[in-house]
Amino acid sequence: MIRQAKGKTPRRPPPKKPSNNQKDPVGVYCRVRPLGAEDVECCIEVISNTTIQLHAPDGLKANRNGEFKETQYSFKKVFGIKTTQGELFEDVAKPLVEDIIHCKNGLLFTYGVTGSGKTYTMTGSPGQGGLLPRSLDMIFNSIGPYQAKRYVFKPDDKNGMEVQNQVDALLDRQKRDSQTTVPKTPTTRRIDPEFADMISPEEACKADGVDEDSSYSVFVSYIEIYNNYIYDLLEETPIDPIKPKWNGAGTPLRNNTEFIPPQSKILREDQNHNMYVAGCTEVEVKSTEEAFEVFWRGQKKRRIANTQLNRESSRSHSVFIIKLAQAPLDADGDNVLQDKNQVNVSQLCLVDLAGSERTSRTRAEGSRLREAGNINQSLMTLRTCIEVLRENQMCGTNKMVPYRDSKVTHLFKNYFDGEGKVRMVVCVNPKADDYEETLLVMRFAEMTQEVEVARPVDRPICGFAAGRRQRNQAFKEELTRRLEERGGPVDESPTVLNQLLQSFPPLPPCVISGPNDDVTLPRLIEALEKRHKIRHMMIEEYNKTAKMLKSVLQEQDSNLLSKENFIQEQRGKLGEKEKMIQNQKNEIDRLEKKSKMLEYKIDILQKTTNIYEEDKRSLQQELESREQRLQREMSEKRRVETRMQGIVTDAKLKWEKECERRVNAKQLEMQNKLWVKDEKLKQLKAIVTEGKTENRQPQRPSRENDKVPAKRSASPSPVPTGPPVRPLHRRSHSAGGERWVDHKPTTNVDLDTVLQPNIPNAIKVNAPNEKALSKCDKYVLTHQEVASDGEIQTKLIKGEVFKTRGGGQAVQFTDIETLKQENPVASSRKRRSSGTGPDGETMEGDWTDVETRCSVALEMRAGSNLGPGYQHHGYPKRRKP
């Protein structure tokens, strides 16, 4: 019995992307593979089920300041070398498969250095299937009984999914069966031994909560991104004998085999802003085996292309996309509802990324080097995108994430931008050679963990009552049973129908008695018409009820929907509030910490202030004491200044006086000399004129007339010729009251004459001294000199002793008396009194002539032997000419 698909159910607005506030960090897992047989040094240690520790290998340790470097990295979970593929799947991929079945997208990629076990983790090896075959298996285990017939779901070319009607689907199926080239369902075929062991049925997993009232279909695509070109690995490339065989880079192939180089594909954005590979083959698969076979086909193609084009497989990214289309069954629970808006497509991307190492592991020369650069570029872009995302999320910035810089990131843009679960398995090889690369991998992984992706929300359920499939199933089962009971095919109805028929008024006997029987037929017709009427009425009633029920159901449905929406909203709000509370808490924590910090700072500042104040006090004290000292020194200075001024005026006065006195003495001496010369001249004149004028008396020179003639006394200067004496001076008539200092230089010649001055009561000295001067009040110097006529001339130079203001003695010369006598030592001693002794020594200082000696004023201070005056006149350079 073929039932027509029911008329369209009232349309609901297309499910808007519900605004979702909840986010989850990218789940990063770490898998450590066992050390290879050839490797000895291990630089990774699993220290807990979330943390690993890296040790710098021995060689590196020496290079880096010789220090032992250990770093720890934490992940959502760490899988050690003993982890089985099943255990890994359980933790990492199972939740993603559950998600895809519940209409949520997922992205799972492996990241790591070449040889770290990415492919092993993703694909696995015979007997140890990886995440990919296990995911496929779980999907089919979960949706197996609810799969739609082939070609019911049909991908449009815009990343969407359509629902074909039964007839078109049937025709497509027939077409497929007739094509011999297309592999048939694996159930009818022998499984390729190469991958037969990949899926072990005993480990079968199943998702919970699969919506039985939906119909499902799985589509797979397999692409490779190499050198930033996208290649479809499932594309059926017809053999073109005319077209020359070139590879993508424009270089001819090495050999002209059947190999057709793949054409690169481009990325497009669908109406929901999801990225997809335009024109990419999507193969509908109905079982794990079939799906894996398709994968293996692509894998083979990849291998061939790599060999043919001399590419390094570790440098390409492979992306296996599992698309799950699901649509609700119609109200009967029999067929897929033919409404594109009701079709949900979710996808799980399984990505085996290229090796993350910075340089090619094998020789990188020529064109390979360029390729290597590009491939690295993709991973670099991935890293940059993650970095920017993280920064945007953590700092609230809105930097542009450069998804478009590489195909890989561009393809996955929606996982990071939109919603979905993203998981990464970081594969590490613990060998020492990989240490530095592994460090980089770890850093990237740590960063990736900080990126958050919007949590996918639950899709609204469709408006039909649940359990449709089951009822339909039960109905069909019952029907079959009944048919079997009858022992043959009946086009009649099940029990319910019979019962219904029995409730109608019984049919009149319908045996026609004869050709004239015109009662039976009309009666039958009447009865049938009655029945028809009843049936009609019942149908109407039924439709009415159905309509009513439908509207009630719809109402309920919309009520439910709005309630759900409300709940969702409230949940979102709650989440927001919780976040706010958390933020506040964090803020409080931060502020508390800050206040503690500030208190501590205040404490320190207080202490510092105290110290400074102490310093200030002591400095002030010092300043005061210094000021006092300064004051004292100033007053002392002033005192000294005044004293010095007094001394200076004293000295000035004294010297003025002294100068005056000397000038006087000199004047006097000069006058005396003049007078002596005059006298001599007169005497000479008298002698000359003696003969002419007898008894003529010598006359004084006119200028001496005003002076009182000197009263000659016997002592101390008996002058026979009566030399002039200054009238101002008292002559010493007797020695009785006066004490004399009799200064006779040792150089004097003993003349032994009457003219020898003899002063009683005198203190005789060779050189004047203060002691003698202090005792006396008169002074006489006996000075000898050879005159021009050869006679010795003795001069008595007299003076008075004064007490000076400074407490010394001064002599003021007042008189000179000259005595003449023949030189007893003749000419040899003529210059004796000039001061030079017989042995040539300077005697008596430089008292060379009488003028000089007369000018001497001796001043002797108390306590000193030689006064300034003495000293002054004793120097030869000061000798007067």
Interaction site with ligand ADP (CB under 6 A): 33-34, 112, 114-120, 125, 314, 355, 427
**Least distance (Å) between residue 360 CB and ligand ADP:** 13
> Nearer to ligand ADP by C-beta: 116 or 288?
116
DSSP-derived letter for residue 448 is: H
Q: Which does 427 bind (CB under 5 to 8 A by kind): ligand ADP, Mg ion, none?
A: ligand ADP
Counts of helices then strands in the chain (DSSP H, E): 17, 27
| Least Å from the CB of residue 352 to Mg ion | 6
The least distance separating ligand ADP from the CB of residue 429, rounded to whole angstroms, comes to: 8
Residues 59-98, one symbol each (x = binds Mg ion by CB under 5 A, - = not), give: ----------------------------------------
Q: Are strands 763-765 and 740-743 parallel, antiparallel or unpaired?
A: parallel
- Min dist. Cβ of residue 44 to ligand ADP (A): 13
Considering the complex, state which of residue 28 and residue 427 has its C-beta at the smaller distance from Mg ion. 427
> Nearest approach, Cβ of 99 to ligand ADP (angstroms)?
25
Nearer to Mg ion, 284 or 371 (CB): 371
* Residue 116 engages Mg ion in binding (rule: CB under 5 A): no
CB of 119 or CB of 472, closer to Mg ion: 119
- The structure tokens listed for 549 are 């029920």
Report the nearest approach of Mg ion to the CB of residue 112 (Å): 9
Cβ neighbours, 10 Å, residue 715:
16
Query: 41 or 851: whose CB is closer to ligand ADP?
Result: 41
Q: What DSSP character marks residue 461?
A: P
Q: CA of 663: how far to CAs of 145, 282, 658, 725, in Å?
A: 155, 144, 8, 18
Q: Using CA atoms, how far apart are residues 140 and 324, in angstroms rounded to an integer?
A: 10
Site for Mg ion in 163-222 (CB under 5 A): none
| Contact partner at residue 120 from Mg ion, ligand ADP, none, CB < 5 to 8 Å by partner kind | ligand ADP
Q: Which is nearer to ligand ADP, 116 or 747 (CB)?
A: 116
| Angstrom distances, CA of residue 659 to CA of 298, 589, 803, 858 | 136, 101, 17, 13
The answer to whether 426 and 30 are in contact (CB under 8 A) is yes
Q: In angstroms, rounded to a whole number, what is the distance separating the alpha carbons of residues 556 and 550?
A: 10
* For ligand ADP, the closer CB: 99 or 437: 437
Q: Is 429 in the site for Mg ion (CB under 5 A)?
A: no
Judged by CB under 5 A, does residue 316 bind Mg ion? no
Using the minimum distance from each CB to ligand ADP, give the nearer residue, 33 or 154: 33
Q: Can you read off the two tokens belonging to residue 677?
A: 């010369």
Q: How far is the CB of 353 from ligand ADP (least distance, A)?
A: 9
Task: Using the minimum distance from each CB to ligand ADP, give the nearer residue, 419 or 437.
Answer: 437
Taking the complex as a whole, how short is the minimal distance between the CB of residue 108 and ligand ADP, in angstroms? 15
Residues paired with residue 128 on neighbouring β-strands, in sequence order:
125
Mapping DSSP onto H, E and C, the string for 764-805 reads: EECCCCHHHHHHCCEEEEEEEEECCCCEEEEEEEEEEEEECC
Q: Of Mg ion, ligand ADP, none, which one does residue 467 interact with (CB within 5 to 8 Å by kind)?
A: none
- Binding partner at 116 among Mg ion, ligand ADP, none, C-beta below 5 to 8 Å by kind: ligand ADP
**Beta-bridge partner residues of 409:** none
Smallest gap, in angstroms, from Cβ of residue 383 to ligand ADP? Answer: 18
Which of 241, 274, 276 is CA-nearest to residue 256? Answer: 241
Closest distance to Mg ion from the beta carbon of 122 (Å): 8
Residue 578: Cβ within 10 Å count:
10
Contact 158, 132 (CB under 8 A): no
- Look at residue 34 and give the partner it binds from ligand ADP, Mg ion, none, a contact being a CB closer than 5 to 8 Å depending on partner kind: ligand ADP
Burial environment of residue 584 by CB neighbours within 10 A (0 to 12, 13 to 18, 19 or more):
exposed
Of all residues in this chain, which one has the CB nearest to ligand ADP in the complex?
Answer: 117
With CB under 5 to 8 Å by kind, the binding choice for 115 among ligand ADP, Mg ion, none is ligand ADP
In the complex, minimum distance from the CB of residue 31 to Mg ion, in angstroms, rounded to a whole number: 13
- For residues 35 and 676, which CB has a smaller minimum distance to ligand ADP in the complex? 35
- How does strand 106-112 pair with strand 344-352? parallel
Which CB atom, from 408 or from 427, has the smaller least distance to ligand ADP?
Answer: 427
Whether the CB-CB separation of 759 and 748 falls below 8 Å is answered with no
Indicate which of ligand ADP, Mg ion, none lies near residue 717 (CB less than 5 to 8 Å, by partner kind).
none
Give the separation between CA 629 and CA 641, rounded to whole angstroms.
Answer: 18
In the three-class reduction of DSSP (H, G, I as helix; E, B as strand; rest coil), residue 209 is classed as: coil
Radius of gyration of the CA atoms of the chain, in A = 71
Cβ-count burial 750-786 (b if 16+ within 10 Å, e if not)? ebeeebebebeebbebeebbbebbeebbbbbbbbbbb
Q: Which of Mg ion, ligand ADP, none binds 231 (CB below 5-8 Å, type-dependent)?
A: none
- Distance (Å, rounded) from C-alpha 277 to C-alpha 260? 20
State in angstroms the smallest separation of the CB of 313 from ligand ADP: 9
Give the residue with the Cβ less far from Mg ion, 118 or 302.
118
Residue 832 interacts with, from Mg ion, ligand ADP, none (CB under 5-8 Å by kind): none
When the beta carbons of 432 and 858 are compared against ligand ADP, the nearer one is 432
Helices (H), 422-519: 435-449, 468-486, 495-502
Residues 6+ apart with CB under 8 A from 279: 157, 232, 265
**Does 438 contact Mg ion by CB under 5 A?**
no
- Total binding residues toward Mg ion, as defined by CB under 5 A: 2
Asked if 391 contacts 399 with a C-beta cutoff of 8 angstroms, the reply is yes
The entry of ligand ADP, Mg ion, none that residue 867 binds, CB within 5 to 8 Å by partner kind: none
Residue 172, class by beta-carbon neighbours within 10 Å (0-12 exposed, 13-18 middle, 19+ buried)? middle
Nearer to ligand ADP, 37 or 395 (CB): 37
CA nearest neighbour of 410 among 445, 444, 385: 385
Read off φ and ψ for residue 169, nearest 5 degrees: -60, -45
Three-state DSSP at 232 gives: strand
* 119 belongs to the binding site for Mg ion (CB under 5 A): yes
Using CB atoms, what's the residue nearest to Mg ion? 119
Q: Which CB sits closer to ligand ADP, 109 or 740?
A: 109
- Provide the minimum distance between the beta carbon of 116 and ligand ADP in the complex, in angstroms, as a whole number: 4
Name residue, tokens 């960090």. 25
Q: CB 402 → ligand ADP: shortest distance, Å?
A: 26
If the CB atoms of residues 114 and 221 are measured against Mg ion, the closer one turns out to be: 114
Question: Of 117-125, 400-408, 479-487, 636-644, which part binds Mg ion (CB under 5 A)?
Answer: 117-125
Q: How far is the CB of 16 from ligand ADP (least distance, A)?
A: 41
SS3 content of the chain, % helix, strand, coil (to 5): 45, 20, 40
Query: Minimum distance between the CB of residue 422 and ligand ADP, rounded to whole angstroms?
Result: 20
* Cβ-contact 705, 675 below 8 angstroms: no
Q: Closest separation between CB of residue 28 and ligand ADP, Å?
A: 16
CB-nearer residue toward ligand ADP: 196 or 714: 196
Residue 27 touches which of ligand ADP, Mg ion, none (Cβ within 5-8 Å per kind): none
Interface with Mg ion by CB under 5 A: which residues? 118-119
